[in-house]
Amino acid sequence: MPTFRFIPLLLSAGILSSCAVGPEYKNVDAALPDHYLGQVALDNRQATTNADFAKWWEGFADPQLTKFVALALEQNLDIAQAQARIKQAKSGLSAAHAALVPSGNISAQAIRNHQSLESPLGQLLNAVPNYDRDANLYEANFNASWELDIFGGLKREQDAALAEYQAAKAGAIATRLAVAAQTADTYITIRGLQSRLEITKKQLETQQQLVTKVNMLYSRGLAPKLQVQQAEAAVAQVEATIPVLEAGLDVAMNALDVMLGAAPGKYRAELSTFKPIPVAPQIASVGSPADLLQRRPDLIVAERKLAVANAKIGQAISEYYPKVALSLLIGSATAISGGNLFSSAANQASGVVGLRWRLFDFGRIDAQIDNAKAQEAESLSAYRQSTLRAAEDVENAISALVKREQQTVYLARGEQSMSQARESSFIAYQRGVVSLIEVLHADENLLKISDAKAQAQTESSRSAVAAFKALGGGWQPSELSKSASVSPLKVDKNENQN
């Protein structure tokens, strides 16, 4: 048959002439400085523990914090959703791979037919001598089809699917890091609120003792009723702060339970015992801002999304060109018996070369290409913006960590001085040198500065968590390279190349 003579030629054309139309993806230029502004201050921190960058939460030297982060990484539902997205992207990649190779199927059937003699055909055939009303039909066929990717449209589709898969992998890691950071942040917040509650309750106890003392003096006629009322008002003012702190503590504990994939209240008993605020460890090996392109999985996601957009330009351009497909059928058919099914007389074959070309639809194709290029430009800007935001995150976290630790030092000094001042004022009040107002004022200032110190300690540790997250700590780049060949993310791209 003439048709079959062209099949080898078309196969050769599909294999040898295949080329992917559209722009080749190139690395992107990210304008990042050589070092962080807060690098020196960060290096000069005095920390008692060091942190392994891959498991930075262990550097806080709090076993319970480490336990909760491990539980969150195992049980969190955001991570489960991210893992499901990986499977979806992998199925899309498999489908894109399958589109590049031939597909085939085998079909077979056996039919038993009993002809009615009342139908027009039956009446006609019944007049034929030795007519048999029963007939058998056997058929077996092999069908194959293949769309030749001569101009690379399917290859670009495969490129896009691979980049989507890689983005899903990086996205799952980004989700995991976010969950670890949020868990640690929430845990530190809980310990900070508990510390503030302890400070408030101790101060309340001190002021209640003062009320007792003033009442005793009043009962002896040595103090006016006004001083009793002033002392009791001060106690009520401190008491009023406790429900607010307890409400904030409830919210934080509920949030931690949800992060651990559990209903609110499940882990509350484990957190009920007061523990000090975890101290921030040393943050070493921060590298340069350019290293964020490799270390931050969210930047890898943004870069892979740019690769997807680039590949879709090629997909759109490929619609300018004709699509060629081959179909082949080889089989046997007989209406006599199954024994003759594969005999030479029963053989049947056909070959088809199909052509599809949007010859009069170029206006719509032009619009699709323009849309794809606009999407690529948007992804490019989004990627560059993401790199700047990432550097900003690191700078802000470093600054907050260093400044909050300095604040803690100053407040600790102030707390010590204020504690001494309060003791002196109370002694002076007992001797009748100063009024009760001086003691109450000292109590109020002591509570404020102690509470401020606890908040500064909390915020410094939270800032350390934010710094580890911003630097992309908590994973190893090999986690991506094991399953998908993520292209290097060193970047240099001409924005006008398309």
- What is residue 76's predicted lDDT score, i.e. its pLDDT? 93
- What is residue 340's predicted lDDT score, i.e. its pLDDT? 64
Query: What's the count of helices (H) and strands (E) in the chain, helices before strands?
Result: 13, 4
- What is residue 343's predicted lDDT score, i.e. its pLDDT? 65
Paired strand residues for 329:
143, 350
Instruction: List, run by run, the mean pLDDT of 10-residue segments along the chain (498 residues).
Output: 43 51 85 89 88 92 96 93 90 84 80 78 74 75 83 88 92 94 96 95 90 89 89 92 95 95 93 92 88 92 94 90 85 63 70 84 90 93 94 95 95 94 90 86 91 96 95 85 46 36
3-state secondary structure of 336: coil
Gap between the Cα atoms of 461 and 60, Å rounded: 9
CB distance 292 to 394 below 8 Å: yes
Gap between the Cα atoms of 157 and 22, Å rounded: 12
Reading the block at residue 83, the tokens are: 């893992």
CB distance 112 to 134 below 8 Å: yes
- Residue 117 identity: L
- What is residue 104's predicted lDDT score, i.e. its pLDDT? 80
Gap between the Cα atoms of 262 and 183, Å rounded: 13
What's the Rg (C-alpha) of the chain? 38
Gap between the Cα atoms of 399 and 40, Å rounded: 11
Gap between the Cα atoms of 297 and 480, Å rounded: 10
- What is residue 327's predicted lDDT score, i.e. its pLDDT? 87
- What is residue 4's predicted lDDT score, i.e. its pLDDT? 43
